[in-house]
Amino acid sequence: MSQELSVTIRNAERLRCTAMLQKDLSQLDGLLDERLIFAHATGMVDDKCAYMAKMAAGRIDYIAIDWPEAQVIGLGAGHALLAGRMATHLRVDGTEKQLDNRVTAIWGETAGAWRMLTFQSTPIKA
């Protein structure tokens, strides 16, 4: 895997996290693929429309996001896996949560832009 791909995916993820923190739905929309499958740590799964609707309604409110561990693995032409540990402070339907999860996300390049295709988070047991 090239260093360039790693930098590209890490930058795309940084932009996604910033968009979520700033509630910049226009920016977030451009970073999520229309085919998005977003599997939350609770086991609930959203498509792009449902996830964006929750963000727009303020049902999901991100306060802080940190990636203390992350690696990028090239999956072939135009696809990459981002995997690691993600710590998230957020409010879901008004309830504040601190999450410590293992995360995998697949990013794909379409028409010269990288977009997240899938996101899967799994809680780390204390």
Which domains occur in the chain, in start order?
3-123 (3.10.450.50)
**List of residues 6+ apart from 64 with CB closer than 8 A:** 21, 87, 88, 89
Contact between 90 and 83 under an 8 Å Cβ cutoff? The reply is no
pLDDT score of 111: 87
Contact between 107 and 114 under an 8 Å Cβ cutoff? The reply is yes
Higher-pLDDT residue of 2 and 67 is 67
pLDDT tens digit sequence for 76-109: 889 999 999 999 999 999 999 999 999 999 999 9
